[in-house]
C-alpha cells in the first residue's frame, strides 16, 4: 500500500471495563488499567469495517489519569437463573488517542476486486468525523464511548514525564480463523510497557504467549444473502 491509510482518533467516555479474564469466572470483573489491542480494534471496527480489510492498531496514548471505581452489579449466576451480587471495578473518566491502519484480508481472495485503498481510506476518515458507523463501547456494552478525529501527540498527557510504566501480563487479542491461515481460534497475551503515556502495540502474531482455544468456522459473506452489493 502506497497511500496513507492511517487514521487517528480520540475516544473517551465516563467509564470503561477492559476485563481481566482472570476475574470473569468469579463473577466480579476487574478492568485492566489500559485498553487492550482487541478492545481498540473493536472500537475501530465500529467506526468502519468491511470483510475486505483488517484493522491494525499501531499505538495508544493515555490522556487522563488512570483511576478506578467499583459498582454493585446484579448479574445472572453461571450455575442458575438467579441473580447474584457482584462488584465490578471500572476505569473512571477515560480518554485515549489511537492510531491505526488497515491491511487487506488475504483470506478473502473473493473480495479482491474491492481492494481500493483510496476508497476505504476516504470512507474511514469520514466515519471518524461522524463518530463512527456503529455504537462505540469501551470494553463492554454498558460503557458508552465517543470518537472524533485528532492528531496523535496533540495536547498533554499526565504521563508525559513517566519514562516507563509496565503492566505485567495482559490479554492482547484474539486471532480469528477469518484472519489467519488455519481454523483455530487463538488468544494472545503480552507484557505491554507505556513510555511517556504511549503504548506501542505489536501484532497478534508477534505475541510470545499464544494459546489455541479450539477450532472455529469463519463466517461466510454471500452477496444477496447476508451481504448487500453495496457492502462488497
Q: Is residue 48 part of a domain?
A: yes
pLDDT value at position 177? 86
CATH number for 82: 3.30.70.2660
Q: Write 167-172 long-range contacts (CB < 8 A, 24+).
A: 167/32, 167/33, 167/34, 167/191, 167/192, 167/193, 167/194, 169/209, 170/20, 170/32, 170/36, 171/20, 171/21, 171/32, 171/36, 171/38, 172/36, 172/37, 172/38, 172/201, 172/202, 172/204, 172/207
Q: H helices of the chain, where? A: 37-47, 117-129
Domain assignment present for residue 188? The answer is no
Find cell 474511514 and name the residue: 124
Residue 60 has pLDDT above 60, yes or no: yes
In this model, does residue 39 exceed pLDDT 80?
Answer: yes
CA distance 30 to 23: 6
Percent of the chain with pLDDT over 70: 89
C-beta separation of 70 from 91 below 8 A:
no
The owner of cell 503515556 is 197
Q: Is 175 inside a domain boundary?
A: no
222, pLDDT greater than 70: no
The whole model's pTM is what? 0.88
- Does the residue 71 lie in any domain? yes
DSSP state, residue 29: -
Q: Please provide the DSSP assignment of 65-92 as one string.
A: ---EEEEEE-PBPTTSSSB--EEEEEEE
Tell me if 113 is assigned to some domain: yes
Per-residue pLDDT tens for 71-96? 887 776 666 677 777 888 999 999 99
Q: Determine contact, residues 174/188, Cβ cutoff 8 Å.
A: yes
**Helix (H, G, I), strand (E, B), or coil: what is residue 93?**
strand
Residue 38 lies in a domain: yes
pLDDT at res. 64: 97
Domain annotation covers residue 56 = yes
Is residue 15 a part of any domain in this protein?
Answer: yes
Count of structural domains, the chain: 1
Which residue segment(s) compose the domain that 88 sits in?
6-167
Proportion of the chain in helix, strand, coil states, percent, rounded to 5: 20, 40, 45
Contact 126, 108 (CB under 8 A): no
Does residue 129 contact residue 146 with C-beta atoms inside 8 Å? no
pLDDT of residue 71: 87
Q: CA-CA distance, 40 to 9, in Å (whole number)?
A: 11
Per-residue confidence band for 2, with pLDDT thresholds at 50, 70 and 90: very low
For residue range 115-134, what is the model confidence (pLDDT) as tens digits? 999 999 999 999 999 999 99
Amino acid at each position: 500500500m502506497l497511500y496513507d491509510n492511517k487514521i487517528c482518533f480520540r475516544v473517551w467516555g465516563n467509564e470503561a471495563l477492559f476485563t481481566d479474564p482472570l476475574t470473569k469466572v468469579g463473577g466480579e470483573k476487574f478492568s485492566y488499567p489500559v485498553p487492550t489491542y482487541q478492545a481498540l480494534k473493536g472500537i475501530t471496527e465500529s467506526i468502519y469495517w468491511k470483510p475486505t480489510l483488517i484493522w491494525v492498531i499501531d499505538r495508544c496514548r493515555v490522556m487522563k489519569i488512570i483511576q478506578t471505581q467499583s459498582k454493585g452489579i446484579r448479574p445472572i449466576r453461571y450455575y442458575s437463573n438467579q441473580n447474584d451480587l457482584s462488584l465490578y471495578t471500572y476505569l473512571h473518566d477515560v480518554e485515549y488517542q489511537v492510531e491505526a491502519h488497515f491491511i487487506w484480508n488475504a483470506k478473502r481472495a473473493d473480495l479482491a476486486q474491492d481492494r481500493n485503498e483510496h476508497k476505504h481510506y476516504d470512507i474511514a476518515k469520514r466515519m471518524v468525523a461522524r463518530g463512527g458507523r456503529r455504537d462505540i463501547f469501551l470494553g463492554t456494552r454498558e460503557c458508552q464511548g465517543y470518537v472524533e478525529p485528532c492528531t496523535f501527540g496533540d495536547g498533554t498527557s499526565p504521563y508525559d514525564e513517566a519514562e516507563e510504566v509496565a503492566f505485567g501480563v495482559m490479554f492482547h487479542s484474539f486471532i480469528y480463523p477469518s484472519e489467519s491461515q488455519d481454523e483455530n481460534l487463538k488468544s494472545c497475551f503480552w507484557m505491554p510497557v507505556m513510555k511517556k503515556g504511549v503504548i506501542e502495540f505489536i501484532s497478534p502474531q508477534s505475541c510470545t504467549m499464544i494459546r489455541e482455544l479450539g477450532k472455529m468456522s469463519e463466517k461466510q459473506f454471500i452477496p444477496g444473502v447476508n451481504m448487500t452489493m453495496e457492502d462488497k
